[in-house]
Amino acid sequence: MNISKWIFTILIVSLLKPQISIGVSDLSKEFLDFAKKDEVFDWMVGIRRKIHENPELGYEEFETSKVIREELDKLGISYKHPIAGTGVVGFIGSGEPPFVGLRADMDALSMQEMVEWNHKSKVPGKMHACGHDGHVTMLLGAAKILKKHSHLLKGTVVLVFQPAEEGGGGAKQVVDSGSLENVKAIFGLHVSPGHPVGQVFSRSGAILAGSGSFEAIITGKGGHAAIPQHSIDPILAASNVVVSLQHLVVLSMLSRIPSPLAEPLELFLKEVSRNSGNVIIAQATVHRCNATVEFSTKAKPFFPATINDKGLHGHFQKVAGDVLGVENVKEMPPFMGAEDFSFYQEVMPGYFYFIGMKNEKNGNPASLHSPFFELNEDVLPYGAAMQSALAVTYNHDHNT
């Protein structure tokens, strides 16, 4: 009797394990099919257009945050708010480990939209010209997929709706809030107007550069144009500073200072800060002016380089292959843009990738940060499916 029970138990386990494995692999395709359903796609399009019509700058995303919370409420998903001022962090699953994060940035840009369509920005001088309205929509789409398939979840998926990516370092504020202390890995995406819909692009290691800003104040002495010898012209000094700083960029390209994709980034920032500050002060002095230089403030922190975790790279390739087909998973060279997603990567393994959204009807799509930028809404189901599949499979693989 005891022997029979023992054998029966072994047979049950051996039969169930393959079924679980097959289910996790097949769900990637199921997620995409679900996201492409007319009612789901139309729902995402409606959210995206509502956000696009009402763009908000960094740390001012109050209405965007409200839209997100309303949709999470409808889905029955719990969340914390406010995080970093306007941010929202939602939770789907058991509330137990493992915890994996999915991130979307919410902020718009200070520019006038030049695209004429029915859902053009209603706010003068503000526009979603970087696709963040699409990123938010895709994460809400992922939330809908995950809620629908919650029986497949192992652990908890953390939805990070983040403010102020465009220079404000909102990711750092989210990290500093402690809201992600249990998260063991995080994934983020960005739309790519120049690549085909249905393809994703990424790489292991450094993928995006570090960036930062500084403020230089050059002080001279006013005077009359008829007696210029009595004045000290700060404009002339500033002009020479600009030219000299451009030379620093050239020197950087010639490897005279570390690369902005350097690991560790601190080496690059140290050298750039020192050299730039010296150039500004020296040029001001040559022209009899005074100069002060301030690097990296709380409002505008330096962004580290975005460096994809090597372990997560294999996970991404496997999941993307399941969702899109291996032929649509592409490697890319490092790109000199910057992303505050890198702040998450400083405290946990993180992975950032680009998702194609090229509209074949538009032979020469406008680039990111262009007033003519157009988001192809056909990308929305792909982003939603990719993010949800990455999270579910990560938690399944790390469930102990």
Predicted confidence (pLDDT) at residue 178 exceeds the cutoff of 80: yes
Percentage with pLDDT > 90 across the chain = 74
Q: How many domains does the chain have?
A: 2
Q: What is the pTM assigned to this prediction? A: 0.87
pLDDT tens per residue across span 325-359? 999 999 999 998 999 999 999 999 999 999 999 98
Q: Contact, 187 vs 102, CB < 8 A?
A: yes
pLDDT for res 19: 36
Q: Is the dihedral of CA 378, 350, 51, 30 positive or negative?
A: positive
CATH number, residue 341: 3.40.630.10
247 and 382 assigned to the same domain: no
pLDDT grade for 400, boundaries at 50, 70 and 90: low
Residue 289 in marked binding region:
no
Predicted confidence (pLDDT) at residue 102 exceeds the cutoff of 60: yes
Mean pLDDT of 158-185: 97
Mark which of 227, 260, 295 sits at the end of a domain: 295
Mark which of 295, 317, 336 sits at the end of a domain: 295
287 and 319 assigned to the same domain: no
**15 in a structural domain:** no
249 and 339 assigned to the same domain: no
384 and 280 assigned to the same domain: no
Task: Give the bridge partners for 105, in sequence order.
Answer: 162
Predicted confidence (pLDDT) at residue 318 exceeds the cutoff of 60: yes
183 and 241 assigned to the same domain: no
Residue 369 in marked binding region:
yes
pLDDT for res 126: 98
pLDDT for res 245: 85
What residue numbers bound the domain in which 223 lies? 214-295
Mean pLDDT of 91-120: 97
**30 in a structural domain:** yes
Residue 132 in marked binding region:
yes
Mark which of 295, 326, 358 sits at the end of a domain: 295
**87 in a structural domain:** yes
180 and 163 assigned to the same domain: yes
Across 63-77, 119-133, 199-213, 249-263, least confident range = 249-263
CATH number, residue 231: 3.30.70
308 and 290 assigned to the same domain: no
pLDDT tens per residue across span 215-256? 899 999 998 889 988 999 999 999 999 998 887 766 655 554
**7 in a structural domain:** no
pLDDT for res 4: 38
311 and 388 assigned to the same domain: yes
Residue 247 in marked binding region:
no
Helices of type H across the chain: 2-35, 38-53, 62-75, 132-148, 170-176, 234-253, 265-286, 310-324, 342-345, 380-397
Residue 151 in marked binding region:
no
Measured CA to CA in angstroms, residue 7 lies from 1, 2, 16, 17 at distances of: 10, 9, 14, 16
**308 in a structural domain:** yes
**Pair of tokens at residue 21:** 């494995």
